Amino acid sequence: MAHPSPAAAAGGFVLWLHGSGGTGELSRAQVAPYFSATPALRLCFPTAPTTPITCYGCEIMINAWFGIPGTPITATTVRDEKGVLKAVEHVHEMLDKEVAAGTSPADIFVCGLSQGGALAVASVLLYPKTLGGCVVFSGSVPLSKSFAERVPPEARKTPVLWFHGMADGLVLFEAGQAGCAFLQKLGMACIFKAYPGLGHSLVDQELQYFRQWVLERLGISQRTEAAGPSSSS
């Protein structure tokens, strides 16, 4: 049995899941600078495997956590739940490894953009422990309502922060609203932040709020934090 490492046992852990077509490194470049002044927080940016996606009548290979049924994603879009659950298993393996290394589940945050946000919320819903939080950017719930009965009591205690642009043409605003409403029906705390005029993209205002929310939940002082991301990553 491996002993907890000092690095894993202290501070918080943020697992960030990118959107389809993205990479972990691109996400790191955009998100990590917001936490550069917080050495106690560790960030992980995995890259999804390449997956064949049919687009405009042609099959292309992109990085994706699971198949894409078509766009835009609406409140009633049906996913390949088998593919979603396989991706959830992969995320759970990463979380289990982190917990086994000594990190408290209460200090773990699963976050993601677009498809990554959908995978983040699905992974949290089916994880048998209460985590520090789940943060969704322009995402949706990729599971049918029938999965509600499979959500363990511990998972329902994980708080969720949800960002969505009201002008999002890829994952419609209605999908975000329906996702948050689904979580609230499960008894989960879900803060929904709507941004008028924002499309399918990450903006500074969202990331600033995200950083503040994570640090507050970890009890980390922000006195040394700059107003924005530092110039170095």
What's the rounded Cα separation, in Å, for the pair 205 and 76?
A: 29
161 membership: H or E segment, kind and range: strand 160-165
HSE value, Cβ hemisphere, 13 Å, CA-based, for 28 = 11
* CB-neighbour burial class of residue 59 (10 A; exposed 0-12, middle 13-18, buried 19+): exposed
Query: Within 10 A of 31 (CB to CB), how many other CB atoms are there?
Result: 23
Question: Six-digit token pair at 100?
Answer: 């086994």
- Catalytic residue, chosen from 114, 123, 138, 140, is 114
Is 5 marked active-site? no
The catalytic position among 27, 140, 164, 200 is 200
Per DSSP (E only), the strands in 4-128 are: 12-17, 41-44, 50-55, 58-63, 108-113
Choose among 56, 52, 47: nearest CA to 68: 52
Any bridge partners for residue 13, and if so which? 42, 108
Rounded distance between C-alpha atoms, residue 48 and residue 189, angstroms? 28
Q: Is 107 a catalytic residue?
A: no
Task: Tell me the CA end-to-end span of the chain in Å, nearest whole number.
Answer: 35
Q: Are strands 50-55 and 41-44 parallel, antiparallel or unpaired?
A: unpaired
**For this structure, is 92 an active site residue?**
no
Residues taking part in catalysis: 114, 168, 200
